[in-house]
Amino acid sequence: MTIRFLLLNAYAVGGTVRTVVNQANALAAAGHDVEVVSVHRHRADPRFPLRPDVRLHPLVDGTDPPSRWTRPLAYYRQHRPSRLVPEAEVRHDRFSRLTDRRIVRYLRSLRGGVLITTRPALNLLSARYTPSSVVRVGQEHLHYSHHKPELAREIDRWYRRLDAVTVLTEADEDAYRQRLGDGGVRVACIPNPLSEEGTPRPSALDRPLVVAAGRLVKGKGFAKLIKAFEPVAQAHPEWQLRIFGAGPEHDRLRKLIHDRHLYNHVYLMGATQEFDRELAKAAVFALASRREGFGMVLAEAMSHGIPPVSFDCPHGPREIITDGQDGLLVPPGDIEGLTAALTRLVEDASLRRKLGGHAAESARRYAPDRIRARWEELLADLLAAKEGGRRPAGAGAPYRL
């Protein structure tokens, strides 16, 4: 199969980029013809490595100086807001007249094969402008209720033209089926895969270390996690909390750590390319998000045999963790409950080993070969339906380039 992925920025660091790279690598390893197209490029090489047989190219290359013949027009288009992407899209500011032009031109150039788009703006543009000879799959990495009403209306209107919408949780599968009805678009739940990079190194669970990770933004709840860890550190001063990631909340979190005199117990570790290695040192993994599209980092921690503690936030954690069997779930936002759950695992090494062993077994559901097989089955069925004419062709929307 010829399979193309369209990302906003394949050169950036983030959960969507990491999981799409994992998908692309797994499908290429199985012998498929795989291409990754990035709307933007801002550095020479991607942060998450692609296999050599996966083609990667940008539509707007910020590393190349513009030609003196095209610079004024390109500059004008790059600094004018998009006319095609809804303002309610979270990353609306990353789209412009220039990206409108480049994306539509790319979409209209496609013939046959599969196109997988990876965020609402790109899904909407694919539904409107990709030729009907192409199997059009829109990936959703956030749950439906996360979208603003204005964006949800556009999703309800245009996603019906796609051949399939894939989501990460069963809860979201139900939500999209209710919204899209019997319009002909297929809705499928396919979780994100773990990395292809070998067998996860099991943790010995013997270091006094809790690990958390994610972009340092309010929605990830790191301030709540730090507050929840404070009584743990007071009762067990040998234990540390290490938070991996970067983002706009860094300074606020650092001040919180200082104000609560936790500077010998809580560390902001920044982003790392060796997260698997750092993760394997942990005895406990913690997640305190307000919401998650899936919570891939939970599955990664569990694959190392590390028992997780997580807020039972919408929607992913409860589908990854079975409370009391392979991890602990805490009511959303309950800081005292999070402290209690962390304390249980800190004080009970046998419980850590029991939950950690079951966690490693549970994580096998997300092994790359298993997730790849689900993608292959879905895409093969969609291609067969396309060739058999079972999906009505949608007319592309007009757009003047």
Instruction: Chunk the chain into consecutive blocks of 10 residues (it has 401) and report each block's average pLDDT, rounded to whole numbers.
Output: 96 86 92 97 91 96 69 62 92 93 97 96 97 96 87 93 94 90 86 80 96 93 98 98 95 97 96 89 96 85 97 86 96 97 98 97 92 95 85 42 40
- Same domain, yes or no: 372 and 357: no
- Same domain, yes or no: 146 and 292: no
pLDDT number for residue 75? 54
User: Does 200 map to a domain?
Assistant: no
- Same domain, yes or no: 162 and 118: yes
pLDDT number for residue 397? 45
Total residue count of the chain as it appears in this document: 401
User: Does 392 map to a domain?
Assistant: no
Q: Which two tokens stand for residue 46?
A: 């991607």
Domain harbouring 158, CATH code? 3.40.50.2000
Contacts for 321-327: CB closer than 8 Å, 24+ residues apart: 321/362, 322/358, 322/362, 325/355, 325/358, 326/302, 326/355, 326/358, 326/359, 326/361, 326/362, 327/298, 327/302, 327/355, 327/359
pLDDT number for residue 71? 57
User: Does 199 map to a domain?
Assistant: no
User: Does 398 map to a domain?
Assistant: no
Pairwise CA distance, residues 202 & 198, whole Å: 12
- Same domain, yes or no: 167 and 235: no
Residue ranges making up the domain that contains 266: 209-365
- Same domain, yes or no: 219 and 185: no
User: Does 358 map to a domain?
Assistant: yes
SS3 label, residue 110: coil
Pairwise CA distance, residues 305 & 203, whole Å: 6
pLDDT number for residue 74? 59
Pairwise CA distance, residues 356 & 198, whole Å: 19
pLDDT number for residue 18? 86
User: Does 53 map to a domain?
Assistant: yes
- Same domain, yes or no: 140 and 49: yes
Longest dimension (CA), the chain: 69
- Supply angle C-alpha 364, 370, 374, rounded to 5: 140
Pairwise CA distance, residues 9 & 40, whole Å: 5
| Pairing assessment for the beta strands 135-139 and 164-167 based on DSSP bridges | parallel
pTM over 0.85: no
pLDDT number for residue 247? 92
- Same domain, yes or no: 76 and 127: yes
- Same domain, yes or no: 236 and 317: yes
- Same domain, yes or no: 213 and 149: no
H-type alpha helices, 5-96: 15-29, 71-78
- Same domain, yes or no: 235 and 339: yes
User: Does 400 map to a domain?
Assistant: no
Pairwise CA distance, residues 167 & 158, whole Å: 16
Task: Look at the chain and report how many structural domains it folds into.
Answer: 2
User: Does 47 map to a domain?
Assistant: yes
Question: The sheet that has 284-287: what strands, in order across it?
Answer: 266-270, 240-244, 209-213, 284-287, 308-311, 328-330
SS3 label, residue 352: helix
pLDDT number for residue 256? 98
- What kind and span of H or E run contains 255? helix 250-259
Are 125 and 109 a contacting pair, CB within 8 Å? no
Pairwise CA distance, residues 127 & 292, whole Å: 25
- Same domain, yes or no: 187 and 277: no
pLDDT number for residue 394? 40
pLDDT number for residue 339? 98
pLDDT number for residue 387? 85
- Same domain, yes or no: 163 and 228: no
